[in-house]
């Protein structure tokens, strides 16, 4: 039985590393050996030519998702900055009579 999920803050380093991984070679909580196993199975199931094509397609999809995410982030940031500028009080650039 696994211990209950604990936050990583305040835990001993050895336990935190064993429980949550050290981050090296860690992609979405999947280790290098698991990724290698999936690639080997894919190679056996669909063949070497189709694996290359599937990898290219996956790369294009991930690139477009990353681009869309960046565009969305920049648009939201721009809108928030514009809203902050509208709400900000005027600076001391104007003289009062």
Q: Each residue's pLDDT tens digit in the chain (97 positions)?
A: 555 555 555 555 554 455 555 555 545 677 888 888 988 888 888 888 888 888 899 899 999 999 999 999 999 999 999 998 888 777 765 555 5
pTM for the whole thing? 0.47
Contact by Cβ (8 Å): 51, 42 = yes
Identify whether the C-beta of residue 31 lies closer than 8 Å to the C-beta of residue 24: no
State the residue for tokens 């030519």: 49
Distance CA 14, CA 60 (A): 38
């Amino acid at each position: 039985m696994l211990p209950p999920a604990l936050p990583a803050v305040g835990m001993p380093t050895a336990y935190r590393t064993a429980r949550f991984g050290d981050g090296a070679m860690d992609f979405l909580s999947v280790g290098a050996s698991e990724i290698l196993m999936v690639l080997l199975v894919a190679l056996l199931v669909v063949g070497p030519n189709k694996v290359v094509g599937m990898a290219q397609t996956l790369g294009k999809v991930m690139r477009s998702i990353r681009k869309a995410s960046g565009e969305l982030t920049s648009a939201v940031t721009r809108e928030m900055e514009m809203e902050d500028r509208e709400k900000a009080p005027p600076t001391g650039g104007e003289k009062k009579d």
